[in-house]
Structure 1
Amino acid sequence: MNVVEEILTIQETAKHLKVTPQYVRLLIKENKLFAKKIGKQWIIEKNNLLDYVFKYNIIIEPDDHERKSNNIPDIVALSFFSGAMGLDIGMKNAGINALLACESNKYCRMTIEKNNPNIALIGDINKYSVTEILEYAKVPKDRKVDVIFGGPPCQAFSTAGTRKALDDERGNVFLRYIEIIEEIRPKYIVIENVRGLLSAPYPYKNIDTPIKGGALLIILDRLKEAGYEISFELYNAANFGSPQSRERIIILGKLNGKKLPYLLPTNSDNPEYGLPKWKTLREAFEEKNFKTHNYVQFPEKRLKFYRMLTEGQYWKDLPEEYKLEAMGKKLNMGGGKTGFYRRLSMNKPSPTLVTNPTMPATDLCHPIEDRPLSVEEYACIQDFPENWVICGPILERYKQIGNAVPIKLAEAIGRVIIADIKNESILSIENFKYSRYKNTSDIAWKKEMDSKIKKMIKK
């Protein structure tokens, strides 16, 4: 924490804590921060401020800073859109440890600083030149960057969003990420995103009408022009040992070399492949010794529906007379796609994590207890280490965990890159079905897009 004077005003305290003066007054009112009133002015002693920070384990949003160490590892890697560092943890487990994290969300920045204070930390990707990025990471001018990885904001491409793609401000952040890759030219690149990237509409070349998949075509053309051979696939995290069924596009690029192979699965729900079965929620929870459970309780009007459901059921299993009410048609509970109720099954992987902060913390109800999954249980599903601290208010912690890349999937990404660096052969499973959708690999998707473009040109 910064050095402060012995006596602080409310405004000075707010500045040091990086909160509003109104919030400091609330802390005083709630007796969390001890203060004295002299005349019309509240004053806070330095020791009382330090006591508050220690007692409540307060993490102050860190300033941008350089990497603490000057040592240069064998593999120089940079992380962007780092979030709660799910992708970073998995890559590190495989042998790739990032020297820099780029993240603008203040709660994610707190999480990064709490768990990895030695890493370089920068904020908005648009505010830094490549020269500044490398200076923060303390990468010598004569040293090449080996790996750049990150998951640019996916809302611009999500099938649940407005699908503005590259016209969206977040889509433009995606393009800034591509620009940084083009300037730094690392040997390997990783881009993680949602399935919607495969079909995000955008005009392409001489076709003025937005074409589904056009945004990805533009991105791939940029990377190809920069010298990268690209492979990608839609991967279900459950196929890599994660106790959840969650699909993400992983784009892998290699500069001036043969394209990287697809990730090697470790699990499958198909016994024909001879792999261990998907990891269940029961197995994941039984491996952990949960000491606490932090969660936001469901309102009673929602709980009454959960009590009608057994393990693994959802709103369609409710008695007919309650379905409309449960889906928000009679109650203001977020009808349509958001009115989703499910008691989890302990004998299956978890469904995709729900992290919409406008809803109760999660729409997934614990299979045994009438409560949502806790922050700790969500972290378990994502395979975060037990000592990894997620900072911020509880809804922000849910959001950070839900937005993270499943760590087991990230490990599989790192293993492919490490094997290629070492010139090791990478095993593959012939005709392995990575997801439930068709034409999701770079080869099949490109073939489908070529056919679609030819038809549009003829018209």
Structure 2
Amino acid sequence: MLSVQEAADILKVTPQQVRNLCREGKLRSERVGKSWIIDRGDLEEYCSSTSAGVAEDRLFYGLGIPKRTNKPIALSFFSGAMGMDIGLEQAGFQTLFASEIDNACRKTIVKNRPEIALVGDIRDFSPKSVREISGLSATDEIDLVVGGPPCQAFSTAGNRKGFEDERGNVFLSFIDMIIGLNPRYAVIENVRGLLSAPLKHRPHNQRGEGFPNLTVDELPGGALHEILNKLEAAGYALSFNLYNAANFGTPQQRERVVLICSRDGKRPPYLEPTNSEGGSFGLPKWKTFQEAVEGIGGNLECISFPEKRLKYYRLLKSGENWRNLPDELQREAMGKSYFSGGGKTGFLRRLHWDKPSPTLVTHPAMPATDLAHPEEDRPLSVQEYKRIQEFPDDWDIQGSILDKYKQIGNAVPVGLGLAIGKLIIKLLNGEKVQTFDGFSYSRYRNTSDKEWKMEFQATIKQFEKQKLLMPI
């Protein structure tokens, strides 16, 4: 006979996962006092009887098939710490399935939502096996598939290799997964760089005289062009925009592209804002950092700034940065960075009490992206990060303190997930969606699907005119 811990070691899962398998009758066992014992033969039978392709992930990542409710169902990919999924739940969805390869994120998911079926790399699964893991038949309707594939391949801060990057390939796998699962709606979230990233990257020293002309795939926006073509060919109508999360109640200026795909062939409307800068359109003003952290209690968990930076922070007030230092200290504080280009507003940056937070990053004490408390001489705490991203206070982020910052910093703000969920619920129910003509969804121009398509066609014509593009 095996103890719960011994069974967990064999299956490479947590003891709690084994207890849930025993409690739900998925693993034959006997209750002894407050614990369980498992016959080794029954454990081996459980492993061998689980259907091929599903067994490993049920055991290593999840807890089996989740129980269905009467709520609309969502399948979540690249789930992270589940910021998007919390928002969808608040809107009325039930998440049956999650996928995530990061160990700390998986622990967070299991800790907070042990009932959700959880797998790793989506490239290891087919649409059929995802349905099986989620407890869905081949004919069960899926209301929503949602995911934010890794964004580094499209980030303006990276090499921008697009789909030639390994992470870009995962993006294409996700598009194929959406098409294979055939949900009523699909939502894809990503960084602004997706709007201008190529499908294939050609180094600049391999362009021009002596080299072949560029293809459409190599143009700025070629990656998104390919995504749209694949989804539209599968029968989906699409809309997208660049959304500032502050317009949806998040106390943070964070801009993300959100694509909404509809299987019914009708172009989906844009998200409905709940807040606006300065209270325009009769909406409440953006939420501030002070509102976000009001009433925060307990022991705050945070890292520290090095003493050489604290020397300058002690001279700065709420909302200030290195430019507010005395002239003679600015060069000393910035060193070689003083002579670099750009605004450099992230250096020695204190948050403003009465404004939303800047975009949270995965580490609040990196020199160029400091996120310091408005008054205290420290970076933002994990608890403040959670408030800014709108995670419930009792949402248990697992891992080391740097793991926690990274998970929360990478998350979709809960308010943005809620706005997405509310829109899809309205579309599922055939309810009217309010439009806001002229609303500034972000600080950038020409970021909606209509404007982007016109701009992409103009780019094609420009390259054709200059005879730099291969015939289409």
Fold match by TM threshold 0.5: yes
Match of 1:276 among 265, 274, 284: 284
Please report how far the alpha carbon of residue 307 of structure 1 lies from its aligned counterpart in structure 2 after TM superposition: 1.1
| Alpha-carbon separation, structure 1, partners of 2:245 and 2:328 | 37
Which amino acid in the other structure matches residue 118 of structure 1? Answer: E
| Alpha-carbon separation, structure 2, partners of 1:83 and 1:349 | 23
Which amino acid in the other structure matches residue 254 of structure 1? Answer: S
Match of 1:226 among 218, 228, 234: 234
Closer/same/farther in 2, CA of residues 3 and 66 from structure 1, 3 Å limit: closer
What is the count of residue pairs matched by the alignment? 410
Partner of 2:108: 111
Please report how far the alpha carbon of residue 326 of structure 1 lies from its aligned counterpart in structure 2 after TM superposition: 2.4
Cα pair 2:97 2:134 within 8 Å, conserved: yes
| Alpha-carbon separation, structure 2, partners of 1:209 and 1:234 | 22
Partner of 1:145: 142
Runs of 4+ in 1 over 3 A off after TM superposition: 15-18, 66-70, 202-206, 335-339, 356-362
Residue 429 of structure 2 corresponds to residue 432 of structure 1: no
Q: Which runs of 5+ in 2 are unaligned?
A: 16-34, 36-58, 202-212, 467-472
| Alpha-carbon separation, structure 1, partners of 2:73 and 2:130 | 13
Match of 1:405 among 412, 421, 438: 412
Cα pair 2:365 2:371 within 8 Å, conserved: no
| Alpha-carbon separation, structure 1, partners of 2:226 and 2:65 | 38
Cα pair 1:189 1:252 within 8 Å, conserved: yes
Match of 1:344 among 321, 326, 351: 351
Once superposed, what is the RMSD of the aligned Cα atoms? 3.0
| Alpha-carbon separation, structure 1, partners of 2:227 and 2:194 | 10
Cα pair 1:314 1:342 within 8 Å, conserved: yes
Cα pair 1:361 1:395 within 8 Å, conserved: no
Partner of 2:308: 301
The answer to which of 387-396 and 272-281 deviates more is 272-281
| Alpha-carbon separation, structure 2, partners of 1:445 and 1:2 | 59
Matches within 5 A, 1:4-19: 4=5
Percent identical residues: 53
| Alpha-carbon separation, structure 1, partners of 2:123 and 2:460 | 33
Match of 1:390 among 382, 385, 397: 397
Cα pair 2:244 2:253 within 8 Å, conserved: yes
What per-residue deviation string (whole Å, max 9, x for no partner) do you get for residues 411-436 of structure 1? 11111100011100011112111111
Q: Secondary structure at the match of 1:253?
A: strand
| Alpha-carbon separation, structure 2, partners of 1:267 and 1:159 | 28
Residue 84 of structure 2 corresponds to residue 87 of structure 1: yes
Cα pair 2:236 2:265 within 8 Å, conserved: yes
Which amino acid in the other structure matches residue 411 of structure 2? Answer: A
Match of 1:134 among 127, 131, 134: 131
Q: Secondary structure at the match of 1:256?
A: coil
Partner of 2:274: 266
Closer/same/farther in 2, CA of residues 252 and 299 from structure 1, 3 Å limit: same
What per-residue deviation string (whole Å, max 9, x for no partner) do you get for residues 370-418 of structure 1? 0111000000001101110000000010000000001111111111100
Q: Secondary structure at the match of 1:191?
A: strand
Q: Secondary structure at the match of 2:163?
A: helix
Q: Which runs of 5+ in 1 are unaligned?
A: 7-11, 19-46, 48-61
| Alpha-carbon separation, structure 2, partners of 1:410 and 1:143 | 24
Closer/same/farther in 2, CA of residues 277 and 358 from structure 1, 3 Å limit: closer
| Alpha-carbon separation, structure 1, partners of 2:199 and 2:235 | 23
Please report how far the alpha carbon of residue 356 of structure 1 lies from its aligned counterpart in structure 2 after TM superposition: 4.1
Q: Secondary structure at the match of 2:262?
A: strand
What per-residue deviation string (whole Å, max 9, x for no partner) do you get for residues 56-88 of structure 1? xxxxxx822354434354422200000000000
Match of 2:175 among 173, 178, 193: 178
Partner of 1:327: 334
Please report how far the alpha carbon of residue 328 of structure 1 lies from its aligned counterpart in structure 2 after TM superposition: 4.4
Cα pair 1:148 1:189 within 8 Å, conserved: yes
Normalising by structure 1, we get a TM-score of: 0.83
Normalising by structure 2, we get a TM-score of: 0.81
Please report how far the alpha carbon of residue 158 of structure 1 lies from its aligned counterpart in structure 2 after TM superposition: 0.7
Which amino acid in the other structure matches residue 225 of structure 2? Answer: L
| Alpha-carbon separation, structure 2, partners of 1:310 and 1:296 | 20
